[in-house]
Amino acid sequence: MTKEEVNKPFIVINGVQISTEDLPAESQGIFNRLKKLIADKSELTLDLGENQASINFFSGILINVFNKSNLPAVDGLSDDVSPSDDEESDEDEDDDDVGKSNN
């Protein structure tokens, strides 16, 4: 390949390298538009990758904050168990004792 061949603008379609010189003059505009669309796609792909990396980063921060705020209580009970739940279970046990003593 000569330097002139290397510097020619080209695109690859289905594995075939096409340069502007290979096309009739009326197709030059289509070639240029397609070349721009391919460049735009490459830029958007890069932007999407950066966007996904940012989403992953900030999601990780929120997950860490959530996990730290939902640690089990010191007793070993989780925060979602309320005292009223414990009282109900104690009353149920008392009812069982009363039923046994009547028999």
pLDDT digits (tens, 9 = 90+) for 83-97: 555 545 555 555 555
Domain that holds residue 23: 3-75
Sorted by sequence, the CB contacts under 8 Å of residue 26 that are 6+ apart come out as none
- Answer whether residue 45 is part of any domain: yes
Cα(44)–Cα(54) distance, integer angstroms: 15
pLDDT digits (tens, 9 = 90+) for 41-93: 999 999 999 999 999 999 999 999 999 888 765 555 555 544 555 545 555 55
The answer, yes or no, to whether residue 102 has pLDDT greater than 80, is no
- Answer whether residue 66 is part of any domain: yes
- Answer whether residue 63 is part of any domain: yes
- Answer whether residue 85 is part of any domain: no
- Answer whether residue 53 is part of any domain: yes
Give the chain's domain count: 1
- Answer whether residue 94 is part of any domain: no
